[in-house]
Structure 1
């Protein structure tokens, strides 16, 4: 397997060949010599259509993750009806004479082709221009656990990097099959403001393996009577920017919040009293942030 590795600021990208081609087994000369005893006899005029999908420009067969549809090719402007479907890598269909449109989807990539059946067996292939994204996150040399990450993938339109959403909620390590092109990826670590963005290119027949580098940390919020003392239960916390914008709210004795590197104001409310303190988040430094329950 060949690939390349390069960096873009806080982004590490590794492109490897997409492992979609599986060597085909030697053809069985007797496979089609007799009709299957479990299949009905073909109706008069019907013929077999055999299809396969290959990566555009590579001629490597796609062997999994395919969804096939055969539509009637209508010229009257009405919505075409699906006449057959399959999830097999190399499906065969029995079709009456006429015009059809064959489509295949591979993740978010697809291809289609117009075909004419004339009562004779026909074999054809559809070329799919596709690659894949595989995403992860890190803080320095520390890999962020997959459950703490979420990704959204967009297609840029004009000057809008988030012009069209392809998919949200993409998990770390998931293989997202996409048409060849450039995509804008938003990585969210935790549930607050630890967000990173990058433009990534998907190449035909390759997996773009990208690591989004975050500058953030997880802090545990506590309201205490004295430093290091037991935290008060049922405390309502608000994390604000120095300008007063609310970043996150939480209730409990010691809730954990993941925040981007920077300065914050913490407000704690308990038993009708309000306590505040300022604190700083440094990337990669997880720690407790205590508010003293004392009158200011």
Structure 2
């Protein structure tokens, strides 16, 4: 009886082993198909979010600009400088987004607020412009005129190379309160905002100076000639009147009060001086010679110092 039971148990155990062996491939397949996410070590399938194409970029549009003279409405066709600034409204300094020197430029701008500026010489104008994806055209009005300067002594025009002008804006009682520009040449066109200006004209490199207050009007050129009372003298140190000048002589031109007006070195340097009385000092080979002389407007001449005993 025991033998049969044992045999039966052994037979049952064999059937169980066979059954487990038969089920193992199916279980493995099921585990491959449905992995244990917590502890199997098999990575979970990744989930990729759907991608969408980027939205359309903000539509740019063209901004066409031109400039005219205020008052007379005459178009400005040269000498312009355009700048476009972004207007972010955050109190920070705006940055330049575009620039041009064309008389009638066109800019491609994204929607937003901008400030358009144009300069015409020393005159300028600006305007706030809002772009909304549509083409725009605008005109800026510039309040400006111009100065054209020259100089003369009597009826005789002064050569442009011998003249230099400085232009100032008066401030209060100070006629030279703010310098607008120096080194202006005769005949040069200076574009300026409408207003009154103080002009200083220097003839030569000494004290021949003239001043004038000039008015600039919109759309007009103020052509002014400043008349100097001066002359150009040639300085010479000679052994006798009309003799050959000594080379390497050092000259000093002084006022009667002793203020130095000009110094020069050479055999016969030329000096342009305002009308008036002067003292000339000549130094040569350790010797000093002096002479008083007078300058009369428009009378260019030689000023000789005789080296007595030379």
Class of the TM-score when normalised by the shorter of the 2 chains: 0.7 to 0.9
1:53 paired residue number: 67
Equivalent of residue 207 in structure 2, options 166, 190, 193 = 193
Alignment partner of 1:143 out of 157, 174, 178: 157
Q: What root-mean-square deviation, in Å, do the aligned CA atoms of Structure 1 and Structure 2 show?
A: 1.0
Does 1:268 find its partner at 2:282?
A: yes
1:44: Cα distance to partner?
A: 4.3
> Which of residues 233, 243, 250 in structure 2 aligns to 1:236?
250
Residue-by-residue CA offset, 1:2-60 (whole Å, 9 max, x unaligned): xxxxxxxxxxxxxxxxxxxxxxxxxxxxxxxxxxxxxxxxx641011010000001111
* Structure (1/2) with the larger strand percentage: 1
CA distance in 2 between partners of 1:57 and 1:119 (Å): 32
Q: What are the Cα deviations for residues 214-260 of structure 1, in whole angstroms up to 9, with x where unaligned? A: 00000000000000000000000000000000000000000000000
Task: Report the Cα offset of residue 279 of structure 1.
Answer: 0.1
Which residue number corresponds to residue 234 of structure 2?
220
| Partner in structure 1 of residue 91 of structure 2 | 77
Give the conservation status (yes or no) of the 8 Å contact 2:123–2:193. yes
Q: Say whether the 8 Å CA contact 2:254–2:280 is kept in structure 1.
A: yes
Matched, 1:211 2:225: yes
Q: Could you tell me which residue of structure 2 aligns to residue 183 of structure 1?
A: 197
1:109 aligned to which of 117, 123, 128: 123
Task: Report the TM-score when normalising by structure 1.
Answer: 0.85
Paired residues, number: 254
Runs of 4+ in structure 1 deviating by more than 3 angstroms, as ranges, are none
TM-score, reference length from structure 2: 0.81
Partner of 2:304: 290
Q: Distance in 1 between matches of 2:127 and 2:88?
A: 14
Q: Aligned partners of 1:186 and 1:142: how far apart in 2?
A: 19
